Amino acid sequence: MHPKYLTATLAVGLAMASQLACAGNDEVPGAPPAVAERQWQPFWAKRVTGYIKAADGTELRYSVLLPKAQGKFPVLVRYSGYDTGSIGGAAYLGDNETFSVALDKQLVEQGYAVMGVSARGTGCSQGTFDFLGPRYGTDGRDAIDFAAAQSWSDGKVGMFGWSWAGMSQLMTASERPKALKAIAPGMVLGDARADSWAPGGVPAPEFVTSWHWFVDQRWEAVKASAKAEGDQRCLAQVAQNQADVVKHSLTYQLARHPLRDDWVKQRSPRDRTQRIQVPVLSMQTWQDEAVMAREGYYQDTLKPEQLWMVQSNGPHNLYEATRFREKLLAFFDHFVKGVNNGFESKPHMEVWEETTAERQGGRHEPNESARPGWTFERDRYPLAVTPVSFSLGAQGSLAQTGQPAGPADEYDYPVPGPEVNTYLRDNAWGPQDPRFKGGSLAYTSAPLQRDLVTYGSASADVWLSAVLVPDLDVQVTVTQVLPDGQEMYVQRGWLRLSSRQQDPRHATSLRPWRLDEPDALQPLLPDQPVLARVELPPFSQVLRQGSRLRLWIDAPSRTGGYGFDTFSLPAHVKVLHDAAHPSRLLLGTLADVKVPVAQPACGTLLKQPCRPDPLP
Distance (Å, whole) CA 612 – CA 371: 26
396 and 314 inside one domain:
no
Distance (Å, whole) CA 157 – CA 274: 20
- E strands, 221-301, are 280-285
Res 22 pLDDT > 90: no
* Position 5 in a domain: no
Assign residue 127 the CATH number of its domain.
3.40.50.1820
* Chain segment 232-274, per-residue pLDDT in tens: 999 999 999 999 888 888 888 999 999 999 999 999 999 999 9
pLDDT confidence of residue 20: 27
pLDDT confidence of residue 404: 80
313 and 460 inside one domain:
no
Distance (Å, whole) CA 522 – CA 120: 39
Let me know: does 176 contact 145? Beta carbons within 8 Å. no
Residue 243 class from Cβ within 10 Å (0-12 exposed, 13-18 middle, 19+ buried)? Answer: exposed
Distance (Å, whole) CA 240 – CA 126: 9
C-alpha to C-alpha distances, 350 to 309, 536, 543, 562, 591, nearest whole angstrom: 6, 21, 19, 28, 16
* Chain segment 167-188, per-residue pLDDT in tens: 999 999 999 999 999 999 999 9
User: How many domains does the chain fold into?
Assistant: 2
For residue 366, whether the previous peptide bond is cis, meaning omega lies within 30 degrees of 0, is yes
268 and 392 inside one domain:
no
Pick the last residue of a domain from 320, 337, 354.
337
pLDDT confidence of residue 159: 98
* Position 358 in a domain: no
* Position 503 in a domain: yes
Let me know: does 236 contact 530? Beta carbons within 8 Å. no
Q: What is the mean pLDDT of the chain?
A: 92
Pick the last residue of a domain from 337, 358, 377.
337
430 and 566 inside one domain:
yes
- Dihedral (CA of 80, 86, 87, 92) sign: negative
- Dihedral (CA of 41, 44, 46, 47) sign: negative
Could you tell me the pLDDT band of residue 360, with boundaries at 50, 70 and 90?
Answer: low
Of the two residues 404 and 276, the one the predictor is more confident about is 276
* Position 296 in a domain: yes
pLDDT confidence of residue 339: 97
φ, ψ of residue 395 in degrees (nearest 5): 55, 35
Assign residue 571 the CATH number of its domain.
2.60.120.260
Let me know: does 310 contact 324? Beta carbons within 8 Å. yes
541 and 473 inside one domain:
yes
Let me know: does 365 contact 358? Beta carbons within 8 Å. yes
Distance (Å, whole) CA 379 – CA 304: 10
Neighbours of 174 (CB within 10 A): 21
* Chain segment 528-544, per-residue pLDDT in tens: 999 999 999 999 999 99
564 and 456 inside one domain:
yes
Could you say which DSSP state residue 281 is in?
E
392 and 332 inside one domain:
no
324 and 412 inside one domain:
no
Domain of residue 418 covers: 386-612
With b for 16 or more beta-carbon neighbours within 10 A and e for fewer, the 511-548 pattern comes to bbbbbbeeeebeebeeeebbebbbbbbbbbbbbbeebb
120 and 261 inside one domain:
yes
* Position 19 in a domain: no
212 and 107 inside one domain:
yes
With b for 16 or more beta-carbon neighbours within 10 A and e for fewer, the 85-121 pattern comes to bbbbbebbbbbbbbbbbbbbbbbbeeebbbbbbbbbb
* Position 146 in a domain: yes
Could you say which DSSP state residue 195 is in?
I
* Position 460 in a domain: yes
Q: How many residues does the chain have?
A: 616
**Alpha carbon 171 to chain centroid, angstroms:** 17
261 and 331 inside one domain:
yes
Distance (Å, whole) CA 417 – CA 557: 5
C-alpha to C-alpha distances, 518 to 258, 441, 566, nearest whole angstrom: 10, 30, 18
537 and 431 inside one domain:
yes
Pick the last residue of a domain from 306, 337, 368.
337
Amino acid at 355: T
* Position 397 in a domain: yes
pLDDT confidence of residue 69: 94
Let me know: does 547 contact 448? Beta carbons within 8 Å. yes
Of the two residues 221 and 32, the one the predictor is more confident about is 221
Distance (Å, whole) CA 96 – CA 84: 11
